[in-house]
Structure 1
Amino acid sequence: MLSSGLLVASVYGVIIAVGLVGNITLIRTFCSAKSVRSEPNLFMSSLALGDVLLLLTCAPVDASRFLSEEWLFGRAGCKIIPFIQLTSVGVSVFTLTALSADRYRAIVKPLETSASTTTIVLRAALIWVASLILAVPEAVYSDLHTFSVPHTNESFVTCAPYPHEGRLHPQLHSVASFLCFYIIPLLAISVYYTLIARSLLQSSQLPVEGNVHATRQIESRKRLAKMVLVFVGLFAVCWLPSHILYLYRSYRYSQVDTSLAHFIFSVAARILAFTNSCVNPFALYLLSRTFREQFNQHLCCCCRFVLRRSPQSPAHYNTRMTSVHSTRHSVASLTAINGKQVEQEEYL
């Protein structure tokens, strides 16, 4: 049992490391230059910040459950950790909804004026505030509770959303969470993308031959809409098993399921949910050429910092420095030639 726990904890460790590198680099990429501070990019930075928070706090705590049968973080941790996790889930799904709304406005209503940076930041802040408020019940009701295993006459104390007495409260909460943090946002996103698909279908039937700018604009909007749709799909797939598990447990709350199938499904669901916090930067890396170049540039900067600290291989260090400066000069020249608008279109 200990060996399986170590294996699961090791998987968590990989997810945390990869997720932190990807999301922190994404935030640095989007916030490093004023020219890339568009609405989608700022929303993606907010989404990445929520993922970083989840990976730093909730993922290690979740991994500890497989290394120790006891809850190690006290009553205060039992209040704070579920609150942070639900806040991060809210930030993710509500930000994806906002991104879908942004793509809807850009494609269906392209003549509307773009929002200012201040307005975009306020919208992102409102998403955080709403997520924090909706997560308050999780902090209020989560506590240390004693559960019993009937066929072994054993009992254990763990952090749980509710005491095991009563069934209505857990069931109402699980259904409300499923609706607020999964079903309703995904339905709203589906409506936006239905309207986007209809608009793109209509625009594809318009004569744009000979108009290079119009053709490029349509293709850029399609590409950006596809990127957001990929992120939505990843969220839907990664978080559905956790919601199913939560619903199942809320309807069997007074019973402790010790079956192997339940254990395997629980581990898979939790790992898949935390995986969602590390895949977005790498999905964007594969989908966007310009983001890929900027991402590589920031990683090279990190490598340059490490090499600067290392006394070894000075010749190799000088070569890498020259390469980095040349790449940066090429990117800057490309930006000067193509203009600010093209650079923003290459990003999400």
Structure 2
Amino acid sequence: MDAESLIQHVQRDSAVTPDPFSETTDWLNDEASLNKFHQPGWQVVLWAIAYSLIILVSVTGNVTVIWIILAHRRMRTVTNYFLVNLAFSDVSMATFNTFFNFVYALHNDWYFGLGYCRFQNFFPITAMFSSIYSMAAIAVDRYMAIIHPLKPRLSSTSTKGVIGLIWIVAVLLAFPQCYYSVTQFYYPRTVCLVDWPDDYGGTHQLSYQYAVIVLIYLLPLLVMLVTYSLVGRTLWGAHIPGEASDHYHNQITAKRKVVKMMIVVVSTFALCWLPYHVYFILGTFNAEIYKRRYIQQVYLSIFWLAMSSTMYNPIIYCCLNQRFRAGFRHAFAWCPFVKVSEEDRMELQHTHTFRVTMTRSHHREASTRLELDGHTAIEMKKMSFNKPNIKENDNSPLEKDS
């Protein structure tokens, strides 16, 4: 169930109308009820601005995230490939779903034909499945990197294979929504709905609805809750030896920052979509709520919150990750108030700059203590620079995404 599903759920046959903006056949015979959900112009303008904000921020932010990762070799890690998939799903949802469903929700009149009716009932579930399972894949990858750092990690090819599998399963899950989608004309309006074989509220529709809730919300969130709990216990609960090097402490700190960022991303997604799922679960038990006059504003609010989940991730990355912050500065360097520092350039252009800098700093400190013999001190200093303990091309799992 995703943005499109909300229209799916609300669409039913001509006898039952769980959709907050659709009417039963009885309503259609009542002249006064034709404008039951008519909104004044100022209200439409405010909602249009609110939904336009989602589209603008989501498209701009997620396209920038994709560019940051794909255009800079240092950013091409397993975690970031899944972030590319997540960003693509979000920007697709905002582009192909938000505007059309908003227009439909204003007066429940479908203007876009049968083909797009099928697509708008199909693609949102596909994109939402891809989004949340990309997050779940990141959680599992973080779990393997931190709990089992010596086990083999996903390669670039394997990661792309996993992403492809996610989309295949997503398409299969959403296919029934596309297959049963129809447009029906009720003078003077056309509605887009899912015409289930045994009508709305029957076994087919309810079984599918609950399966979707479990598969694209509850199950992946449970996986992420378990994996991040175990990762958190390791990163924050484990005792760090008192003699551990500064470099080791920096590694742990970097891993904590990555995990914190992903926990914020997952929590935001869960909170944005929770009212949406609750809305349709309640409607399953009491379809009468869809006929209330106030339900249109409730629906538009819940729909806006659900769709807004597509715009928060780039903001979270920028606020909580130094490399993404540097990438955003690069992308918006044309703005007069955005300044790109040399450190920002180093963050994206030089592999493992942070790790090498810390290593060399450590060697400088060590060399200054070797002053008992000037000649020995100089020689040791040269050796320390020529043979760092941690090589620049080191691909330690603990540091790969720091």
Q: TM-score, normalized by length of structure 1?
A: 0.83
Identity score, percent: 25
Task: State how far apart, in whole Å, the 2-side matches of 1:220 and 1:51 are.
Answer: 26
How far residue 46 of structure 1 moved from its aligned partner, in angstroms, is: 0.5
Q: Which runs of 5+ in 1 are unaligned?
A: 148-153, 305-315
- 1:207 aligned to 2:241? yes
How far residue 114 of structure 1 moved from its aligned partner, in angstroms, is: 2.7
Which residue identity does 1:99 align to in structure 2? I
Residues 220 and 345 in structure 1, CA contact (< 8 A), matched pair in contact too:
yes
Distance 1:5 1:77, change over 3 A: same
How far residue 250 of structure 1 moved from its aligned partner, in angstroms, is: 3.7
Residue 80 (structure 2) aligned to one of 36, 41, 51:
41
Distance 1:335 1:179, change over 3 A: closer
Q: Which structure is higher in helix share?
A: 1
How far residue 68 of structure 1 moved from its aligned partner, in angstroms, is: 4.3
Which residue identity does 1:221 align to in structure 2? K
Task: State how far apart, in whole Å, the 1-side matches of 2:153 and 2:311 are.
Answer: 30
- 1:103 aligned to 2:142? yes
Residue 280 (structure 1) aligned to one of 313, 319, 332:
313
Counterpart of 2:90 in structure 1 is 51
How far residue 144 of structure 1 moved from its aligned partner, in angstroms, is: 2.2
Counterpart of 2:215 in structure 1 is 180
Task: State how far apart, in whole Å, the 2-side matches of 1:87 and 1:9 are.
Answer: 25
Which residue identity does 1:194 align to in structure 2? S
Task: State how far apart, in whole Å, the 2-side matches of 1:166 and 1:24 are.
Answer: 38
Residue 290 (structure 1) aligned to one of 318, 323, 327:
323
Residues 66 and 87 in structure 2, CA contact (< 8 A), matched pair in contact too:
yes
Task: State how far apart, in whole Å, the 1-side matches of 2:351 and 2:216 are.
Answer: 41
How far residue 126 of structure 1 moved from its aligned partner, in angstroms, is: 1.3
Counterpart of 2:226 in structure 1 is 191
Counterpart of 2:265 in structure 1 is 231
Distance 1:341 1:157, change over 3 A: farther
Task: State how far apart, in whole Å, the 1-side matches of 2:218 and 2:52 are.
Answer: 30
Which residue identity does 2:191 align to in structure 1? T
How far residue 264 of structure 1 moved from its aligned partner, in angstroms, is: 2.4
SS in 2 for 1:65: helix
Task: State how far apart, in whole Å, the 2-side matches of 1:11 and 1:73 are.
Answer: 22
Which residue identity does 2:212 align to in structure 1? S
How far residue 66 of structure 1 moved from its aligned partner, in angstroms, is: 4.1
What is the root-mean-square deviation in Å for CA atoms of aligned residues? 2.9
Which residue identity does 2:82 align to in structure 1? F
How far residue 121 of structure 1 moved from its aligned partner, in angstroms, is: 1.3
Task: State how far apart, in whole Å, the 1-side matches of 2:350 and 2:173 are.
Answer: 47
Task: State how far apart, in whole Å, the 2-side matches of 1:116 and 1:91 are.
Answer: 20
Distance 1:37 1:330, change over 3 A: closer
How far residue 176 of structure 1 moved from its aligned partner, in angstroms, is: 1.3
SS in 1 for 2:314: helix
How far residue 326 of structure 1 moved from its aligned partner, in angstroms, is: 5.7
Listed as ranges, the matches of 1:263-342 within 5 Å are 263-300=296-333, 303=334, 331=347, 332=349, 338=357, 339=392
Task: State how far apart, in whole Å, the 2-side matches of 1:176 and 1:234 are.
Answer: 22
Distance 1:228 1:13, change over 3 A: same
Residues 91 and 310 in structure 2, CA contact (< 8 A), matched pair in contact too:
yes
Alignment size in residue pairs = 323
Cα deviation 1:76-129 (Å, max 9, x = unaligned) = 111111211111110111111111101111111111233221111111121111
How far residue 212 of structure 1 moved from its aligned partner, in angstroms, is: 1.9
Task: State how far apart, in whole Å, the 2-side matches of 1:340 and 1:36 are.
Answer: 14
Residues 326 and 345 in structure 2, CA contact (< 8 A), matched pair in contact too:
no
Counterpart of 1:311 in structure 2 is none
Residue 60 (structure 2) aligned to one of 7, 11, 21:
21
Counterpart of 1:131 in structure 2 is 170
Distance 1:52 1:340, change over 3 A: farther
Between stretches 100-109 and 327-336, larger displacement belongs to 327-336
Q: TM-score, normalized by length of structure 2?
A: 0.72
Between stretches 165-174 and 21-30, larger displacement belongs to 165-174
Q: Which runs of 5+ in 2 are unaligned?
A: 1-38, 358-391
Residues 174 and 250 in structure 1, CA contact (< 8 A), matched pair in contact too:
no
Cα deviation 1:288-346 (Å, max 9, x = unaligned) = 1221011111122xx38xxxxxxxxxxx8xx99xx659676555479655456699958
Task: State how far apart, in whole Å, the 2-side matches of 1:248 and 1:155 are.
Answer: 29
Distance 1:219 1:88, change over 3 A: same
SS in 1 for 2:120: helix
Which residue identity does 1:211 align to in structure 2? S
Task: State how far apart, in whole Å, the 2-side matches of 1:118 and 1:329 are.
Answer: 28
Distance 1:138 1:41, change over 3 A: same
Distance 1:202 1:68, change over 3 A: closer
How far residue 249 of structure 1 moved from its aligned partner, in angstroms, is: 3.1
